[in-house]
Amino acid sequence: MNITVFCSANSLDDTYTAPAAEFARLLGEAGHTLVWGGSHAGLMGELADGVKAAGGRLVGISVEFLRHKAYEGADELVTMPDLPTRKAELLAHGDALVVLVGGIGTLDEITEVLELKKHGLHDKPVVVLDTEGFYTGLRLQLERMDAEGFLPRPLAELVAFARTPAEVFAHLSAHQPQ
């Protein structure tokens, strides 16, 4: 399976890097392909290192203005002209979408994939790895939107929140992408 992952490009402490490393190991050992932003920066680079060490494939989708941050050991690396095109490409290449901890770039990516899914423009599984409750705020906001009629589809159809890397893969196995 091609799994597109959105995550921080910053260097983080062990609270966040350890679960990301575990996620990378499970992904690589299962023979999946990591599709990601193609960067060596911070958690993005550590994720790619972990997948590669575990025997997985790497497909990087970089963007022109960050090309100098590109990960050298990717099996495939393409460079898109701008961020909107790159987001579309990251979505198109993935059979499933997984969100690890991240900042504004990651938030931009998850809201876009949920907005497109809301409109039925894709129906790929979206799973958020909620390490240490990092996404509690986002989950509560989405639950309120769901409860108060802001979503045209039940929230549970749009996104799942997992507490551990193993839960992410259990969800993906139970919701095999078509």
Ligand X SMILES: C/C(=C\CNc1ncnc2c1ncn2[C@@H]1O[C@H](COP(=O)(O)O)[C@@H](O)[C@H]1O)CO
DSSP letters, 2-62, are: EEEEE---S---HHHHHHHHHHHHHHHHTT-EEEE--B-SHHHHHHHHHHHHTT-EEEEEE
Q: Nearest residue by C-beta to ligand X?
A: 105
Q: Shortest approach of ligand X to residue 109 CB, angstroms?
A: 5
Residues that bind ligand X (CB under 6 A): 6-10, 37, 39, 41-42, 44, 66, 69, 102-106, 109
Of residues 41 and 151, the one with the C-beta less far from ligand X: 41
What's the closest the beta carbon of residue 65 comes to ligand X, in angstroms?
Answer: 9
End-to-end distance of the chain based on CA atoms, in angstroms? Answer: 11
In this complex, which beta carbon is closest to ligand X, that of residue 42 or of residue 165?
Answer: 42
CB of 147 to ligand X, least distance (A): 27
Residue 120 CB neighbours (<10 A): 9
Q: How far apart are the C-alpha atoms of 62 and 87, rounded to whole Å? A: 10
Residues 127, 96 contacting (CB under 8 angstroms) = yes
**Amino acid, res. 50:** G
Residue closer to ligand X by CB (options 8, 131) is 8
Smallest gap from Cβ 98 to ligand X, in A, equals 11
Closest CA to 167 of 136, 128, 115: 128
Which residue number, 138 or 151, has a Cβ lying nearer to ligand X?
138
Nearer to ligand X, 107 or 120 (CB): 107
CB 121 within 8 A of CB 115: no
The least CB distance from residue 97 to ligand X, in Å, is: 11
